[in-house]
Structure 1
């Protein structure tokens, strides 16, 4: 839960520091501008709030690893993916999007800090403990932090400990460790298809390269 708070706090701070004009820059999510990604993060914060107040009585069906599924790369035909840019544009000025994100994001952060990690909650037709749910989101926030700053070289990067935790979870999901020679940031970017590996990196990946990208859903 501490890692969730660290990753979320760092991501919220990174959004707050983005100049208005940079909201029109591309993000690391293909086809999305920075403003689109921030709008997606608003929805993510809402999902956290909803899940934390959706208790479950049955036994857990998944943990942080099982929460994520490996899916086919997006085709751009998902209605929600198409909706996000329209929602982001509707804010008009970046300050309104920033305000909404800070408002909902702060609430999600407080709710996570107050939650009992042993309590069971329901989301996506699965049951898991709050601790496992928030652990799963360390990967989500870390990847989207990297997406946010992909074309903003002066922006602050995610904390090292949260990148390490996100990498460890991604490797558990894949069932295979990424090469130890890869720094955590590069392991996440290459592993999820956000960056194309160099020839040297492909050689280090070996047969595992054929399984990339690992797209989470």
Structure 2
């Protein structure tokens, strides 16, 4: 629960620190500018609020690892929902409006997470999770999108180290394969999710596990 809050606070702070011109830069998400990614974060925050307000009396059907669906092909940005996000982001026109909306909805999502019972059960996508597992999935979501946000902003603050480490561990659990210990957590996440290709040296160091990566998570 604390790691969810730290990861989410760091990401929202990174958005708040963006200059207006940064919103027109590419993000690490295929086909999306930074403004499109920030709009997606608003939608994510709404999803957190909706899910935490959707209790279930059924037994959990998934956990923080099995939550993730793995696609066979990388995203292209042409998915209808991705295209809708681009149109919604453009409708804001001014970056400060996006910042305000994310701060407003995002703060509410953060408070709801802090107030939720970790052992409670909630439903989303016709699946049931414990609150703890559900929020754990968002540690990886926030961490990956933090890396996406700063992909072309080299001086920006990195995601929290503990979020990077936890996200790497989750990715390795999903893949049932581990990265070499020499890999920095952020490099493991970027390579492991197809956000960048490994160098020749990294490819050689990966060895057998290289066949398990990248994973295209959704």
**TM-score, length basis structure 1:** 0.98
Q: Residue 19 of structure 2 aligns with which residue? A: 19
Q: Residue 106 of structure 2 aligns with which residue? A: 105
Q: 1:55-74, aligned counterparts within 5 Å?
A: 55-72=55-72, 73-74=74-75
Tell me the C-alpha RMSD between the 2 structures.
Answer: 0.9
Q: Residue 152 of structure 1 aligns with which residue? A: 153
Q: Which runs of 5+ in 2 are unaligned?
A: none
Q: Residue 76 of structure 1 aligns with which residue? A: 77
1:97 and 1:109 mapped to 2: Cα distance? 17
Q: Residue 192 of structure 1 aligns with which residue? A: 193
Q: Residue 214 of structure 2 aligns with which residue? A: 213
> Is the contact between residue 37 and residue 149 of structure 2 (CA under 8 Å) also seen in structure 1?
yes
The offset of 1:165, in angstroms, is: 0.6
3-state SS of 1:64 partner: coil
1:105 and 1:75 mapped to 2: Cα distance? 27
The offset of 1:212, in angstroms, is: 2.4
Q: Residue 52 of structure 1 aligns with which residue? A: 52
3-state SS of 2:65 partner: helix
> Is the contact between residue 15 and residue 99 of structure 2 (CA under 8 Å) also seen in structure 1?
yes
> Is the contact between residue 28 and residue 147 of structure 2 (CA under 8 Å) also seen in structure 1?
yes
The aligned length equals: 217
The offset of 1:124, in angstroms, is: 1.0
Tell me the alpha carbon deviations over residues 91-134 of structure 1, each in whole angstroms, 9 at most, x when there is no partner: 01000011001100000000000000000000111101000000
> Is the contact between residue 10 and residue 160 of structure 2 (CA under 8 Å) also seen in structure 1?
yes
Q: Which runs of 5+ in 1 are unaligned?
A: none
> Is the contact between residue 64 and residue 137 of structure 2 (CA under 8 Å) also seen in structure 1?
yes
**TM-score, length basis structure 2:** 0.97
1:208 and 1:75 mapped to 2: Cα distance? 25
The offset of 1:30, in angstroms, is: 1.4
Does 1:174 find its partner at 2:180? no
Does 1:43 find its partner at 2:43? yes
